[in-house]
Amino acid sequence: MYQKLFLILTTSLFSYSFCQENVSARNNGILVVEDLHLEQLESGKIHKLWLQLGENELSEPIKVPVLIAKGDGTPKVLGLTAAIHGNELNGIAIIHQFFSKIDVTKLKGTIIAIPGLNSLAVARNQREFLDRVDLNRILPGKPNGNGSEQMTYKIGEKIIPLFDYHVDLHTASFGRINSLYGRGDMKDETLASMLQVLEPDIIVSNRGKASFGSASGLTMRAFAISKGVKSVTMEYGNPQVYQKDMIERGVKGLKNLIIHLGLREGEIVTSTIDNICSKSYWIYTDKGGYLDVKVSLNQKLKKDELIAILRNSFGELIATYRAPEDGIVIGKSTNPVNISGGRIIHLGILEK
């Protein structure tokens, strides 16, 4: 009987209000849906749903959590996605806290948030999907492809097209830390203003075109842009942790953003971000050893300034690394263990 009920409920949102109490025994009270039909959701409410993106080994839905704050009838939709890299968690807390503060009665339009997009990877404390593929490199995926390709195809079909505006929330990856920085095309007026009100320390201006060595696909941002969605990426600090300051700043930035986009009334108190980089790149070691990075996040560097030293297993100095040009430290390695080709710092080159 439960199974029958479950099937009925997963097929349509129409049953949502009618049967909500009955679902709780199976789904923590949250309905599992195949697709998000915004028009079927009541305005003036925050809705919680599980969106099915494929099936697991038990033939059960692979679920991702979806929060939808549905304001008045304005069709404008802001999308927030966190943890397409499963070990990047600050964005999850940012969405949770941001949603706890939304007054949906004053909202003009809709906010859709996915706090934990790569849910199978989140559960495993890992960046990539189960097949160890980076989902944020292979959009649009393939409907009949392998595991990660089918997953990204569903993200591209079921989620991204719902958005008019999009913020993809990330952090650094394992063994590295990031400043609070944003990526987007600063030549696009809408994207530039979105990045400014999100209040990062640094903005890296680029169009998000994919260029990932052997990987052939797009990032979620580049895919969203290709679909006409105004999309930016935000990097909030460090992997696999909740950082209070990053989370607070993230929530404040999103509050600014919804006012800026006209999703609610209010005043934005923000200062202009001056640290705008026209490009950025990683600097790598050429030898293996124990790496000691000497610079801090957001530190401005002069050409030839010392950035790191490398010692061998006996403590002898075997290499020193210097800034190849003037720049600013966007990210850095925190893991001393390096084979040759290890990352040292992510250097941003500030616009003149």
- The piece of 5-13, 79-87, 197-205, 257-265 that touches Zn ion (CB under 5 A) is 79-87
| Size of interface with Zn ion, in residues (CB under 5 A) | 3
Q: Please, which residue, 87 or 285, has the CB nearer to Zn ion? A: 87
- The piece of 77-85, 188-196, 224-232, 301-309 that touches Zn ion (CB under 5 A) is 77-85
Q: Hey, is 151 helix, strand or coil? A: helix
Q: Please, which residue, 117 or 301, has the CB nearer to Zn ion? A: 117
Q: Hey, is 246 helix, strand or coil? A: helix
Q: Among 63, 137, 170, 221, which residue sits at the site for Zn ion (rule: CB under 5 A)?
A: 170
- The piece of 167-175, 185-193, 252-260, 278-286 that touches Zn ion (CB under 5 A) is 167-175
**Which residues 6+ apart lie within 8 Å of 160 measured at CB?**
79, 166, 220, 223, 224, 227, 229
Pairing of β 61-70 and β 45-55: antiparallel
If you search the block for the tokens 């009270």, which residue do you land on? 29
Distance CA 14, CA 18 (A): 8
Q: Please, which residue, 121 or 261, has the CB nearer to Zn ion? A: 121
Distance of closest approach, residue 315 Cβ to Zn ion, in angstroms: 34
Distance of closest approach, residue 170 Cβ to Zn ion, in angstroms: 3
Q: Please, which residue, 88 or 199, has the CB nearer to Zn ion? A: 88
By the 8 A CB rule, do 320 and 289 touch?
no
Q: Which residue is nearest to Zn ion (CB)?
A: 170
Q: Please, which residue, 84 or 194, has the CB nearer to Zn ion? A: 84
Tell whether residue 249 is a contact of Zn ion (CB under 5 A).
no
Distance of closest approach, residue 198 Cβ to Zn ion, in angstroms: 16
Tell whether residue 176 is a contact of Zn ion (CB under 5 A).
no
Question: How many CB atoms sit inside 10 A of residue 59's CB?
Answer: 6
Distance CA 218, CA 138 (A): 5
Distance of closest approach, residue 311 Cβ to Zn ion, in angstroms: 30
**Which residues 6+ apart lie within 8 Å of 1 measured at CB?**
none
Tell whether residue 85 is a contact of Zn ion (CB under 5 A).
yes
**Which residues 6+ apart lie within 8 Å of 65 measured at CB?**
30, 48, 49, 50, 51, 114, 115, 116, 119
Interacting residues with Zn ion (CB under 5 A)? 85, 88, 170
